[in-house]
Structure 1
Amino acid sequence: MDSLTEALLEGASPEELERQTLPAEYLAAHLRAEDVGMFGKVEDKDVRKSLHVGNVEMPEIAPDEVVVAVMASSINYNTVWSATFEPVPTFEFLKRYGRQGGYAARHDLPYQVVGSDAAGVVVRVGAGVRRWRPGDHVVVSCVQVDEQEPATHADAMLGAEQRIWGYETNFGGLAHFTVVRASQLLPKPPHLTWEESAANLLTAATSYRMLVGENGARIKQGDVVLIWGATGGLGAFAVQLVKNAGGIAVGVVSSERKAETLRRLGCDVVINRNEIGLGGDDPLTPQRTIELGKRLGRAIRAEVGEDPHVVFDYIGAATFGISVFVVRRGGVVVTCGSSTGYQHQFDNRYLWMNLKRIVGSHAANLHEQAECNRLFRLGHLSPILSEVYPLQDVAEAARLVQTNRHTGKVGVLCLAPEEGLGVTDPELRSKIGEARLNPLRSVSPERVA
């Protein structure tokens, strides 16, 4: 263990942290450029074969960057995409970024440290950093932007130089240390543990932008919101946001076990997709899409008496045509991600003749993330962590997400030696209560062969 890590774990002061030397290397989950193409035409691209854990070099930091000692991180689906080298190898992103020269050239390496969530302690700041100092407890935004780009000052997600850290950049969060821009930092909610804090920002803020913010569906009291994959990392936060806004949450899940989990989250209407025939390997033809849409519409109207105002769809190819069909006249389908495929097919008559809208959404700008983070700090949003792995077992954690055997978010302990650390406001934690803070922790993943 290096002296900086020892000082961190012993609760060293900010001054002591500044005196410590950054280690020349650190432990990180990473991919290797030499492995690109390893899966060929293999049907099961098992991420346990491509994700490695080992030492990598500590990069030099730019004036607007900080080094964060990562106490905990979590698995997002973009790590699965990275580790399967699909839809394109992320090394292509790094090469393109590196061609800018300067500090960007550091990112073009024969390895990529992955991971787009982190909670930890600032241990070093660049010469141009004003708002942060060593010792600060932070969570890390997944969005890296260019503040010199005009579009960034309107909506950072519209900037051409916007990138997702740990996916389109190097030095991600599934590691003992990470290098990020100061503009990616937000204060850690003081009543949450490291692992609880590290599992929220990417998915919760994405759901916030999709549903609440002015760039998304802008839900209001009484809105009926259909949420596909409602116990997943995005869906479980969507349920909470709809409930907070006074809406009616209609969640769709793939099993009765997940349906029970969804009820524990307070979802108003729970639909098992298998009960409406949306399961198995039957091809989703245009005719079947309409048939399934009618079944789903009837099921929703039987419970709430009307069609959904908004459909929250990150599933993609397997659901999108149904989403466009089932949303009410003048309604909104808000979409991101597409975990089942990017090629969406739908009958455009049901879109244009019924004045429906499709809103594409991607991550969240820093203001939206700050507003979302505030909801955690107030106790109005709860983590959806279901299981925590050590960094050495990160490949198993990613495999759990790849095979959809998880609920909520899967956390990863990095420098934190055990769960339960990092709480600096125990009074608020006690006031909120463990059951409300961890509604999914007693739910074990659905482990299958």
Structure 2
Amino acid sequence: MSTTMSEAVIAGAGGDALEKLPLPERFAAATVRLADIKMFQDVDDKDVQKSLIVDEVPMPELAPDEALVAVMASSINYNTVWTAMFEPLPTFQFLKQMAKAGGWERRHDLPYHVVGSDAAGVIVRTGSSVRKWKAGDHVVVATAYVDDQDHDTHRDGMLGEGQKAWGFETNFGGLAHYAIVRASQLMPKPGLLTWEEAAVNPLCAGTAYRMLVSDRGAHMKQGDVVLIWGATGGLGSYAVQLVRNGGGIPVGVVNSRRKADLLRSLGCEIVINRSEIDGGDATLLQRPEGWRKIGAAVRDAVGEDPHIVFEHVGEKTFGASVFLARRGGTVVTCGSSTGYQHTYDNRYLWMRLKRIIGSHGANLHEQWEANRLLSMGRLLPALSTTYPLDEVATAARSVQTNQHIGKVGVLCLAPRPGLGVTDPQARARVGEDRLRTFQGWTSESDASSGRDHDEGRRLARV
């Protein structure tokens, strides 16, 4: 019986062997469907478990500047939740707009959207113009899908008009057995990490790096006090580490005692549990009395106001963020998971000489810098829980309802967690316990019921 491509990849076949094997005609992928875009009209709970479907899709044709990656693992980002909710607009509009460019871009306009903006895997094919990568290479995928013929791209990859978020504004994303990526998205997989540990980093770690460390972000310096909302989430957990690495003082905001404990284990000494401040009133942070309570808690802990506020929550926290930044301070924002319509008191911005910086994703250089820190063990993967691909909708729901901690991984072709380490010596130097800092931490609800999603799924996959 002949070996399939997927079997060969799992077995660790080399590039020469992979190039000789035929590609599968169809493969498993997490999709949303054009026919379903109205399913949540007049529905309060837009449960993504109803719209995110694992299906068999045809293998797309490869463009000259692209690589086909056999995806060993991927992860859930909030943009997948948005896609599956069809909010703020159905992503099929992005795919139709993309197709108008003609050429290879027309492939993306399909009645289904293969989602996912993170991936770690093995290259199995390269297009004719790809020079620096070959079949058999172990890679992770940077999220920014850029147009190298746009002059602004050469100033900053994120400024080009054709820049897109891969797997959100493009088709053929990472929550699948195979994914198509441009060569300009490829980075070497850190050898000390497993497939699932490597897969969860690129989007969130790169985004946090640009927001804080890059010269296009908040210009964080030693001693800066940085207030980090959602500090145990995907973005926040990398922000805490980058602030500590850079000599700053992270002030992590979380909503439970369990998350506060995780933050302290990560080395974040100053933790604000907002549930102890708002008493369960989620609207308090949207009013001046709530802002003042958070500000007092920061000053009690640090003795001064934040130089930088790391903002990605949006509508429910943005007014507080503008208030809390010190005179001359900076709010750096990359998203709005609770809503895009922000209300804040502009007097605190203009009269106190503050700045708001918009930040989106990361260019390839910034992604490489963050990936280098991961390869050195100076940035730890935020993976807490791993699901198999056939439970991707459950994984996305946990992120949608904020029941997750850190990053939620998804095994695609990898048959079980723990595979993919090619540099065990580096892993030993960093330490297994450190690399697994987030693993084993469950959500508050799982902890109270005695469930451990991660262990249950590991056993199910072995």
Q: 1:332 aligns with which of 319, 330, 340?
A: 330
Q: How does 1:223-238 map to 2 (within 5 A)?
A: 223-238=224-239
Letter in 1 for 2:135: P
1:315 aligned onto 2:313: yes
**Match of 1:61?**
62
How far the C-alpha of 1:296 sits from its partner, in A, is 1.2
Q: Which runs of 5+ in 2 are unaligned?
A: 450-462
**Match of 2:381?**
383
Does 107-116 or 1-10 show the bigger shift?
A: 1-10
**Match of 2:192?**
191
SS at match of 2:206: helix
How far the C-alpha of 1:291 sits from its partner, in A, is 1.6
**Match of 1:7?**
8
The answer (yes or no) to whether the contact 1:386–1:410 under 8 Å persists in 2 is: yes
**Match of 1:253?**
254
Letter in 2 for 1:255: S
Q: What is the CA–CA distance in structure 1 between the aligned matches of 2:64 and 2:405, rounded to whole Å?
A: 39
Q: 2:349 aligns with which of 337, 348, 351?
A: 351
Q: What is the CA–CA distance in structure 1 between the aligned matches of 2:12 and 2:44, rounded to whole Å?
A: 47
Q: How does 1:157-172 map to 2 (within 5 A)?
A: 157-172=158-173
Q: Deviations over 1:156-186 (max 9, x none)?
A: 1011100011100000000000001000000
The answer (yes or no) to whether the contact 2:278–2:284 under 8 Å persists in 1 is: no
Q: Deviations over 1:330-373 (max 9, x none)?
A: 00000011111001111111100110000000000000000010
Q: Deviations over 1:176-222 (max 9, x none)?
A: 00001000000000000000000001000000000110010011110
Q: What is the CA–CA distance in structure 1 between the aligned matches of 2:274 and 2:282, rounded to whole Å?
A: 13
Letter in 2 for 1:425: D
**Match of 2:457?**
none
Q: What is the CA–CA distance in structure 2 between the aligned matches of 1:209 and 1:74, rounded to whole Å?
A: 20
Q: Deviations over 1:111-141 (max 9, x none)?
A: 0000000000000000000010000000001
Q: What is the CA–CA distance in structure 1 between the aligned matches of 2:396 and 2:40, rounded to whole Å?
A: 17
**Number of equivalences:** 446
Letter in 1 for 2:68: V
Q: What is the CA–CA distance in structure 2 between the aligned matches of 1:319 and 1:95, rounded to whole Å?
A: 34
How far the C-alpha of 1:268 sits from its partner, in A, is 2.2
How far the C-alpha of 1:294 sits from its partner, in A, is 1.4
Q: How does 1:33-432 map to 2 (within 5 A)?
A: 33-277=34-278, 279-282=280-283, 288=287, 290-432=288-430
The answer (yes or no) to whether the contact 1:278–1:292 under 8 Å persists in 2 is: no
The answer (yes or no) to whether the contact 1:71–1:415 under 8 Å persists in 2 is: yes
Name the TM-score, length of structure 2 as normaliser: 0.95
How far the C-alpha of 1:277 sits from its partner, in A, is 1.6
Letter in 1 for 2:152: A
Distance verdict in 2 for CA 1:12–1:281, change over 3 Å: closer
SS at match of 1:355: coil
Q: What is the CA–CA distance in structure 1 between the aligned matches of 2:175 and 2:33, rounded to whole Å?
A: 15
How far the C-alpha of 1:404 sits from its partner, in A, is 0.3
**Match of 2:30?**
29
Q: Deviations over 1:251-294 (max 9, x none)?
A: 00011111111111111210011222274354766xx2x22221
Does 1-10 or 390-399 show the bigger shift?
A: 1-10
The answer (yes or no) to whether the contact 1:191–1:429 under 8 Å persists in 2 is: yes
Q: What is the CA–CA distance in structure 1 between the aligned matches of 2:312 and 2:109, rounded to whole Å?
A: 30
How far the C-alpha of 1:143 sits from its partner, in A, is 0.8
How far the C-alpha of 1:69 sits from its partner, in A, is 0.2
SS at match of 1:292: helix
Q: Deviations over 1:276-324 (max 9, x none)?
A: 2274354766xx2x22221111111111111110000100010000110
Q: What is the CA–CA distance in structure 2 between the aligned matches of 1:389 and 1:179, rounded to whole Å?
A: 22
SS at match of 2:234: coil
How far the C-alpha of 1:446 sits from its partner, in A, is 2.8
Q: What is the CA–CA distance in structure 2 between the aligned matches of 1:14 and 1:146, rounded to whole Å?
A: 28
The answer (yes or no) to whether the contact 1:93–1:169 under 8 Å persists in 2 is: yes
**How many percent identity over aligned positions?**
62
Letter in 2 for 1:412: V
Distance verdict in 2 for CA 1:227–1:283, change over 3 Å: closer
Name the TM-score, length of structure 1 as normaliser: 0.98
Letter in 2 for 1:399: R
Letter in 1 for 2:218: A
SS at match of 1:234: helix
The answer (yes or no) to whether the contact 1:119–1:137 under 8 Å persists in 2 is: yes
The answer (yes or no) to whether the contact 1:31–1:112 under 8 Å persists in 2 is: yes
Distance verdict in 2 for CA 1:318–1:237, change over 3 Å: same
SS at match of 2:158: helix
SS at match of 1:158: coil
The answer (yes or no) to whether the contact 2:285–2:320 under 8 Å persists in 1 is: no
Q: What is the CA–CA distance in structure 1 between the aligned matches of 2:199 and 2:11, rounded to whole Å?
A: 21
Q: What is the CA–CA distance in structure 2 between the aligned matches of 1:342 and 1:133, rounded to whole Å?
A: 41
The answer (yes or no) to whether the contact 1:2–1:23 under 8 Å persists in 2 is: no
The answer (yes or no) to whether the contact 1:386–1:445 under 8 Å persists in 2 is: no
Letter in 2 for 1:295: K
Report the aligned-residue RMSD.
1.3
Q: What is the CA–CA distance in structure 1 between the aligned matches of 2:217 and 2:302, rounded to whole Å?
A: 23
SS at match of 2:262: helix
